[in-house]
Amino acid sequence: MESWLKNEYLIPLLLVLLILAAAAWAGSRIKYRRYKRRIDEAELEKQETSRRRYVTAKMKEHILERDNATCQICGISKGYLDSLAPGLGDYLLLEIDHITPVKQGGSGSDESNLQVLCWRCNRKKSGTRTNEEVAEMIDYGIELPHKRRRLFR
Ligand SMILES: [Zn+2]
């Protein structure tokens, strides 16, 4: 009886198996590289987004001064609140808003894309609404001073 080792089909069979294994390995490498590239691209985009979101302390100061520390939608300011009751202004939280959201390409290094908003208007604006849309929604139940410098554009 002939040993299976001497089977004339053995070598071709091993070759076919080797080729299949090599193909499977190459396929997995290609898939891994694609996956890796996707991850790297997502990471780069994240870094780019956080770079564009960043507003320097100096720029924040400049925007606060330019907008007269006044919410550019509802017009509220610390000074106005202080005029109602001394010290009341300390309760107002003013924020620097990206007029065009960072996710839509807006940048924090471009001062024409920055404005002062009160926290309330900023939450409503979020990354989804324009100044005009927020202004139509808000009714804070207090008389506001309307000292907005450059409200809508
Ligand atoms: Zn406001």
- For residue 36, report the distance from its CA to the centre of ligand 1, in Å: 44
Alpha helices per DSSP H over the chain: 10-53, 57-66, 78-84, 119-125, 131-137
Contact 126, 82 (CB under 8 A): no
| Virtual torsion, Cα 66, 129, 151, 98, nearest 10 deg | 10
Length of the chain in terms of residues written: 153
DSSP three-state, residue 57: helix
> Above 80 in pLDDT, residue 145?
no
User: Between residues 94 and 136, which one has the greater pLDDT?
Assistant: 94
- For residue 105, report the distance from its CA to the centre of ligand 1, in Å: 23
- For residue 133, report the distance from its CA to the centre of ligand 1, in Å: 13
What pLDDT shows up at residue 153?
Answer: 43
DSSP three-state, residue 114: strand
- For residue 109, report the distance from its CA to the centre of ligand 1, in Å: 22
- For residue 52, report the distance from its CA to the centre of ligand 1, in Å: 24
Name the residue among 137, 1, 131 with its Cα closest to residue 67.
131
- For residue 64, report the distance from its CA to the centre of ligand 1, in Å: 14
46-100 pLDDT, tens digit each: 999 999 999 999 999 999 999 999 999 999 999 999 999 999 999 999 999 999 9
Percentage of the chain lying above the pLDDT 70 cut: 88
> Above 70 in pLDDT, residue 151?
no
- For residue 103, report the distance from its CA to the centre of ligand 1, in Å: 22
- For residue 72, report the distance from its CA to the centre of ligand 1, in Å: 7
| pLDDT confidence bin for 124, thresholds 50/70/90 | very high
What pLDDT shows up at residue 147?
Answer: 45
Our measurement of the distance from residue 6's CA atom to the centroid of its chain's CA atoms, rounded to an integer in Å, reads 67
Q: What is the mean pLDDT of the chain?
A: 89
